[in-house]
């Protein structure tokens, strides 16, 4: 998204109100899931008519989008517009020599990266690398739209992908030719891609042992039960896989909406941990 001076002025004007800025920041925190008009008003302690006025201005500026969910309107912040504005404001960073900024050692509390073309490597880990981590890899590869490079592995890989997981991915038009069940040892070798994020998707609540990952990437636990272990007929198993797929999609969508370049590491870690708590009360996920 290329931004002109006029575009930037429009966004800055819309955010010049403390109320509008607070509403937009709260929607950014909510991620792709968004918030209803009533929930946002309650969170801000703002009368609904007043909020409607501010949301109108934010929508006109392109900072907020809306969608209808039944009879309810759900609002989401445009992370893309925010990133474009940040990039515009940083355009003359270090006297048109961004390498002076980018090459500085990263400090605790600093943003993940200032590089506008940074592609983050993300590794999903589970025990068998036959379903959950495989599905998460495919979802992020699509949802990330070039911002993320996704990988998956297992601590004790089964060596094959669960047929139900493969069928689900094929039905949803995900590329599958490159997929295989593999050990996490492949990513600990010299020359392996350096990971920026490592997420475990095993279900420690069920007593399953989750792998740990050494090194400096940001990590979080996004545990979901293993659909491969679900006992039932073919239809019930398919539903278990679909529910796991839904939970992973929801979490990854929120992750993709995070403004990584504007968050310090402590804040980002909290956001990642919060994502792992999504759908905690769901059934057979």
pLDDT (tens digit per residue) in 118-157 = 899 999 999 899 999 999 999 999 998 889 999 999 988 9
* Predicted confidence (pLDDT) per residue in 254-283, tens digit: 999 988 878 888 888 889 999 988 864 443
At 237, list the tokens.
């198993």
Instruction: Give the model's pLDDT for residue 285.
Output: 29
Q: What pTM was estimated for this model as a whole?
A: 0.59
Please name every residue paired with 149 in a beta bridge, in sequence order, or none if there are none. 121
CB 129 within 8 A of CB 152: yes
SS3 content of the chain, % helix, strand, coil (to 5): 45, 15, 40
Residue with tokens 């295989």: 180
């Amino acid at each position: 998204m290329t931004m002109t001076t006029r575009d930037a002025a429009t966004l800055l004007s819309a955010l010049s109100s403390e109320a509008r800025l607070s509403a937009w920041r709260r929607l950014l925190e909510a991620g792709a899931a968004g918030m209803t008009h009533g929930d946002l008003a309650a969170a801000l302690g703002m009368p609904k008519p007043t909020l409607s006025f501010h949301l109108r201005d934010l929508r006109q500026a392109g900072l907020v989008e809306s969608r209808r969910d039944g009879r309810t309107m759900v609002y989401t912040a445009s992370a893309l517009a925010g990133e474009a504005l940040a990039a515009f404001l940083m355009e003359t960073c270090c006297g048109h020599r961004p390498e002076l900024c980018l090459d500085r050692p990263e400090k605790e509390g600093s943003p993940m990266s200032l590089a506008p073309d940074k592609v983050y490597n993300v590794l999903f880990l589970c025990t068998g690398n036959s379903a959950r981590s495989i599905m998460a890899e495919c979802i992020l590869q699509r949802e990330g739209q070039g911002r993320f490079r996704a990988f998956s592995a297992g601590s004790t890989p089964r060596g094959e992908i669960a047929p139900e997981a493969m069928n689900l991915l094929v039905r949803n038009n995900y590329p599958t030719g490159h997929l295989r069940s593999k050990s996490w040892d492949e990513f600990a070798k010299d020359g392996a891609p350096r990971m920026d994020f490592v997420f475990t998707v095993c279900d420690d609540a069920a007593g399953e042992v989750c792998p740990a990952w050494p090194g400096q990437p940001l990590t979080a636990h996004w545990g979901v039960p293993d659909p491969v272990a679900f006992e039932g007929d073919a239809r019930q198993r398919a539903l278990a896989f679909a529910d796991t797929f839904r939970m992973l999609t929801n979490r990854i969508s929120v992750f993709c909406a995070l403004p990584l370049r504007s968050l310090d590491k402590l804040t980002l870690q909290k956001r990642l941990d919060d994502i792992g708590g999504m759908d905690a009360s769901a059934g057979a996920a």
